Structure 1
Amino acid sequence: MAFTIALALLTLIALYALKVYRQFSRNLAAAKASGIKYMTVPFFLTNRYYQLSCIIIIPLMRRLPKSWTEPWFDLTLDWGWARRYEPFKRFGADTFITVTPERNVLYTADADVICQITNRRNDFPKALEVYESLKIYGNNVITSEGHQWRHHRKITSPPFSEKNNHLVFAETLGQSQGMVDSWMDGNTERSKTIHTVADDTMRLSLHVISRGGFGVKLEWPGKGKVTENGLVKGGHDGASSDSVSKGHTMSYTDALGLLLHNMLAILIIPKIILKRLPFEWARLAYTSYVEWGNYMNEMFQSKKSAILEGREGDNLDLMVAMIKGAGITKESAANGQTPAQTLTDDEILGNAFVFILAGHETAANSVHFCLALLAMNITSQRHLQRDLDDIFQGRPVSQWDYDQDVPKLFGGMAGAVMNEELRLVAPIVGIPKSTAKGSPQPLNVRGKKCTVPENVYIQLMSPAVHRNPNHWPTGPPADPENPAHPLSNTDNDLEEFKPERWLLDSDAKNAASMPDHDGDAEASSLGVNTAPDTSAALYRPPKGAYIPFSEGYRSCIGRRFAQVQILAALALIFSQYSVELSVDTYASEEEVEKMSEKEKRGVWEKAKAEVERQMRDDMGSVITLQLRKGSIGLRFVKRGNERFDWK
């Protein structure tokens, strides 16, 4: 009996090995025939079983002789952020394929190839399997393709307009002031060390998108009416306060905050299991998932009832726009029948979820990293402050004007800082595309006619194309002996934060205007903003070389929303304050006060080196790229009271 079982197991193993070998042979033959450079690797990076077993497999592979693993080992890891442009330079190709026993993967850092892929959206659809987990509340514009995507996009696009951007600008200014006031905590000159900047910018962005996207006004803690439990109450629609609404066990902001904090567990672990795990984090994760869904459903039902009763609501409100776009109107219900919806209730909630999730993380991370990068680059920070002084001419914030000021911000040093931060820390490391089964696609690679095989998983590598010296003007590294990255672009400055690289003419911002659509009628009908990502007053890289919001028809629907929010936050903060690195780890405040300029520079350099290490080694992606370990300590001081101020 034991012999029979062993023989059966060996037979199954042999058959499985034969299947793997045959699939690998087919994949290898397809890569050879493609005309594109390729490398064989033993594992398919996005295979969940491989990802789960990495904790065992990777240490074992590290023990093998380097001569066995050197050509391919790093490509079995999540290498996009860690290695950036280095693999492309090493292989001598800006586009290459990795051949695995499961599926081939095409990586590219070539702007022209990226344009071909993004513009031919039917030939190179999104790799939807990557987004399956984002359907936790329902299908949505991110998790759909083809005619279904067109339908979602057309309905969800109206709120993302210039009219709504006026509201985003004003709301960001008010919320940013609340954030800064919380940092200063009553001190008029300088703050203590703030270790919650990442969390605070997340709250800032959540408040802005809640107001600009859903008509929900959220007050910054410490403002508005304080309840018995010390939480702030304000707003409307039952989802607008830090207090716990009737019928709930969490506040709206706590539910969303915990939902985002535990997103990885919520996306990966089946809800029926998550609900029963005997851990506090699991309980909070599951409760936040249920609670935030209930809040959004209550908002949906409230606004739906109002529309059916003839109280139309504001079309700038994303929820209202989706309800009306789905065919739910007073007229449609006048005959007493239930309106036929073109978006289901779940799809409306699904879209609300992904807009909150993706929209607020992108802007929040950008503001956070702009603050850290400017704290490490004092000359650029002073340049930004001088530019803001020139734009606002001493006007109080209450007199700032979207039409007058935002184009100047977009085309000046604030826009350059934003663009450079998004170049260095793009929200998505690898933008996923694919070729369908049975549908190989022609592709021109550096003037050579090639063929992308069928069923290929494609990654548009934003950290690499943003640092590709074939597409960007370069200068020498600031310190050749200590390059900004140990592997990537060690012979140029593309790993360094230099917003000045975007400036063409210091006075150009005064005549700048917001980028406009290029006249694509089909794109306009779908609400796709085909305007460039950067101001005409600044350097414009080749099309496809700068993709922080992706490219083409599937580019981010809320990119202008995010850009306006980032610019407004930077303008508010740096028109009044300077940001400095915390040196608490190396010296107390009293010790710093007694130091010479040379000694101050010494402790500041140590703090700078640690933040650079954090932004290189402690970053990771769940949805967007952000700091995953520790925090960056920053201090905010009223302008003129800086402790560290040198070129």
Structure 2
Amino acid sequence: MASPLALALLLPPTLLFLSSVWCLFSNYLIARNVGLPIIIVPISPENPLWMILARHILPIVQYIPFGNGYFSRFCHVGWEFDEKSKSHLELGDAFMFVTPGKNWVYLCDADAIGDINRRERQGEFARPVELLAMLDVFGPNLSTVHGQDWQRQRKCTAATFTEHTNAVVWAESLRQGKQMLEYWKLAGSAGVRSTAKDVRTLALDVLVKAGFGKSFDFEGSGKMRKSNGPLSYRDALGLILHNAIPIFALGPRLLQRLSFVPGLGRLGEATVQFKKYMVDMYEESKQNPQIRGAQGNLLTSLVQASVEDKLISQEEVLGNMFVFNFAGHDTTAHTLAYTFTLLAAHPEVQDWMAEEINYVVEGDDPLQWSYDLFPKLNRTLAVLYETVRLYDPLLSIVKGTENQPARLKIGEKEVVIPAHTRVILNLNALHSHPRYWGDDGLEWNPSRWIQVAPGDGPSIDREQLVIPVAKAFIPWGEGMRACPGKKFAQVEHVAAMTAIFRDHYVVPVNQAGENDAQARSRVLDVVKDTGMLLLLQMLHPERAALEWRKRA
């Protein structure tokens, strides 16, 4: 007979198991009435423990016969990148995950997705803000509120992303790009393995300039300044962004209490120091209206909305400043890392882009290049579009039904999405489906975005950037919840490419016995070795050593 202690230990996991089985069965009964293909997923994609452990457990259990292999295909974070449009070609434009948590509808239909984005403004298919509650670490913000609070904050924050801000981003990205290139050239023929780290520094420096009006020179390899004193603005923010997961999991207050744990002390200090900097700058801008008008950065714009317009609280200013930096840092950095590595493997695209840059830009000093040049760099922007099409840092956009079911037309069929259901706009599938992108949809080909208008004169003057299927390309989202920093990101990427590739090009460093073609193929394998951590990123970018050379 089992002892009372053994029973006490077995009771909680047994009850949890039975509860999960019951919820899974109940959700299956609900899903069966929808009429979409069903995939049974015994662990909820929202389970935080499974999100962390799945990659380590799946190699062990992938051969267990469960649901025709669906367990190993769909039960891990990042399966959308692995599948691309394959699952939708197999199962249809929409299918359902039945889980012990909520049911999930995965959607790859451009018209239906457009309908969802339009109807969100009417209160349907709202973004489930509870999934982003972790972003509240410094205060309520645009990502974690809804309803009237969202509308109020949106009004304030939209005003911060102006053409003035974009001009600042342009100039700082050119400066940082020039300095980063000079650092990379020092490596010579040995090449640079720190590309992914270095672009994080560039992205951070641009954010600090545009967000706080503080300027720093580029420092290579992502190394923090050595200092025994308090962290600087940039270093505190950089440490926070680089360690976002433990901050979200533990929160700033618990981090400070765990300062005795190796590695957490400095991180706890960074959260305290960063908030202090934001509060000090808030108070400084609040007391001095001339600072707000003179600097015109994101922080001072939000302070104006708080102090003069009385639309946003101090806590909301701090919360939005953090979430803007968080949302704009890793997404930009990972995209830049992908772009540089892909360009190294595609010299023909480098030449094509450099031809445009040299045609548009005059003068040798990037610091003198006007923001007015940005709209003319269509090929350079096309390189960004093609990169985020295939390597969007966000695998999907999550919407959902709340207390009421909602009708949705998917292709020629109308279905009723039950209440309390996640609706997933599957970006990886949408951005690669042959219906929208043709048979070469999995190939990285930036020229697909460029069309030449009829007329006289050089064809490069008549080139236009055209989105092949507008509704099938939404890397920054669409509708009322679209990313407000969309143009910010585009300007930063194009400026960095312009500063670096005008006079230089990049090649993979050949390993022993390799020719150039083999080296390029190996670098593409590094790109394909991609997975989902906090965002989609290359798992081992340091394996691609890149050499920078001056154009003849």
TM-score, scaled relative to structure 1? 0.77
Work out the CA distance in 1 between the residues paired with 2:295 and 2:151.
Answer: 20
Give the superposition deviation at 1:138: 0.8
Distance 1:627 1:511, change over 3 A: same
Work out the CA distance in 1 between the residues paired with 2:421 and 2:183.
Answer: 49
- 2:43/2:50 contact within 8 Å kept: yes
Work out the CA distance in 2 between the residues paired with 1:220 and 1:5.
Answer: 60
Deviations 1:250-304 (A, max 9, x none): 2222222221221112212344554426543222322222222222222222222
Distance 1:365 1:2, change over 3 A: closer
Is 1:102 the counterpart of 2:101 in the alignment?
A: yes
Instruction: Tell me the amino acid that sits aligned with residue 430 of structure 1.
Output: S
Distance 1:40 1:2, change over 3 A: closer
Instruction: Tell me the amino acid that sits aligned with residue 408 of structure 1.
Output: K
Aligned counterpart in structure 2 of residue 586 of structure 1, from 503, 512, 516:
512
Instruction: Tell me the amino acid that sits aligned with residue 461 of structure 2.
Output: N
Work out the CA distance in 1 between the residues paired with 2:8 and 2:196.
Answer: 55
Instruction: Tell me the amino acid that sits aligned with residue 424 of structure 1.
Output: L
Is 1:407 the counterpart of 2:375 in the alignment?
A: yes
1:348-359 matches, within 5 Å, as: 348-359=317-328
**What are the ranges of 5 or more consecutive residues in structure 1 without an aligned counterpart?**
223-230, 232-240, 333-340, 475-491, 513-536, 588-601, 641-647
Work out the CA distance in 1 between the residues paired with 2:151 and 2:202.
Answer: 31
- 1:164/1:316 contact within 8 Å kept: yes
Distance 1:496 1:164, change over 3 A: same
Aligned partner of 2:263 in structure 1 is 281
* SS state at 2:293 partner: coil
- 2:204/2:238 contact within 8 Å kept: no
Give the superposition deviation at 1:24: 2.7
Work out the CA distance in 2 between the residues paired with 1:130 and 1:509.
Answer: 45
Distance 1:621 1:118, change over 3 A: farther
Instruction: Tell me the amino acid that sits aligned with residue 375 of structure 2.
Output: P
Aligned partner of 1:318 in structure 2 is 298
Work out the CA distance in 2 between the residues paired with 1:212 and 1:15.
Answer: 52
Distance 1:552 1:508, change over 3 A: farther
1:443-522 matches, within 5 Å, as: 443-472=408-437, 474=438, 492-505=439-452, 510=461
Distance 1:447 1:219, change over 3 A: same
1:250-265 matches, within 5 Å, as: 250-265=231-246
* SS state at 1:269 partner: helix
Work out the CA distance in 2 between the residues paired with 1:581 and 1:432.
Answer: 37
Is 1:559 the counterpart of 2:486 in the alignment?
A: yes
- Percent of aligned pairs sharing the same letter: 29
Aligned partner of 1:40 in structure 2 is 40
**What are the ranges of 5 or more consecutive residues in structure 2 without an aligned counterpart?**
none
Deviations 1:11-47 (A, max 9, x none): 8777666644443333223222223222222121111
- 2:126/2:401 contact within 8 Å kept: yes
Work out the CA distance in 1 between the residues paired with 2:14 and 2:216.
Answer: 61
Give the superposition deviation at 1:455: 0.9
Instruction: Tell me the amino acid that sits aligned with residue 459 of structure 1.
Output: I
Distance 1:63 1:96, change over 3 A: closer
* SS state at 1:70 partner: helix
* SS state at 1:71 partner: helix
Give the superposition deviation at 1:242: 5.5
- 2:452/2:462 contact within 8 Å kept: no
Is 1:577 the counterpart of 2:542 in the alignment?
A: no
1:356-395 matches, within 5 Å, as: 356-392=325-361
1:35-434 matches, within 5 Å, as: 35-52=35-52, 54=54, 58-65=58-65, 69-78=68-77, 79-91=79-91, 93-121=92-120, 122-185=123-186, 192-221=190-219, 249-271=230-252, 273-275=254-256, 276=258, 279-307=261-289, 312-314=292-294, 316-326=296-306, 328-329=307-308, 341-392=310-361, 396-403=365-372, 405-409=373-377, 412-434=378-400
Backbone CA RMSD of aligned residues = 2.9
Distance 1:389 1:439, change over 3 A: same
Give the superposition deviation at 1:63: 4.2
Work out the CA distance in 2 between the residues paired with 1:13 and 1:406.
Answer: 58
Work out the CA distance in 2 between the residues paired with 1:289 and 1:311.
Answer: 25
Over alpha carbons, which structure has the higher Rg? 1
1:565-644 matches, within 5 Å, as: 565-583=492-510, 585-586=511-512, 602-622=514-534, 624-631=535-542, 632-640=544-552
* SS state at 1:136 partner: helix
* SS state at 2:281 partner: helix
Distance 1:86 1:134, change over 3 A: same
TM-score, scaled relative to structure 2? 0.89
Instruction: Tell me the amino acid that sits aligned with residue 249 of structure 1.
Output: P
Work out the CA distance in 2 between the residues paired with 1:196 and 1:60.
Answer: 32
Give the superposition deviation at 1:55: 6.5
Instruction: Tell me the amino acid that sits aligned with residue 272 of structure 2.
Output: V
Work out the CA distance in 2 between the residues paired with 1:366 and 1:9.
Answer: 47
* SS state at 1:380 partner: helix
Instruction: Tell me the amino acid that sits aligned with residue 510 of structure 1.
Output: D
Work out the CA distance in 2 between the residues paired with 1:559 and 1:612.
Answer: 27
- 2:94/2:107 contact within 8 Å kept: yes
Give the superposition deviation at 1:48: 2.0
- 2:178/2:499 contact within 8 Å kept: yes
Distance 1:139 1:296, change over 3 A: same
Work out the CA distance in 2 between the residues paired with 1:125 and 1:27.
Answer: 21
Give the superposition deviation at 1:613: 2.2
Work out the CA distance in 2 between the residues paired with 1:209 and 1:54.
Answer: 33
Deviations 1:383-429 (A, max 9, x none): 111122222256653553322x21110xx321221111111111211
Q: How many residues align?
A: 541
Give the superposition deviation at 1:614: 2.2
Instruction: Tell me the amino acid that sits aligned with residue 302 of structure 2.
Output: M
Give the superposition deviation at 1:348: 0.9
Instruction: Tell me the amino acid that sits aligned with residue 266 of structure 1.
Output: I
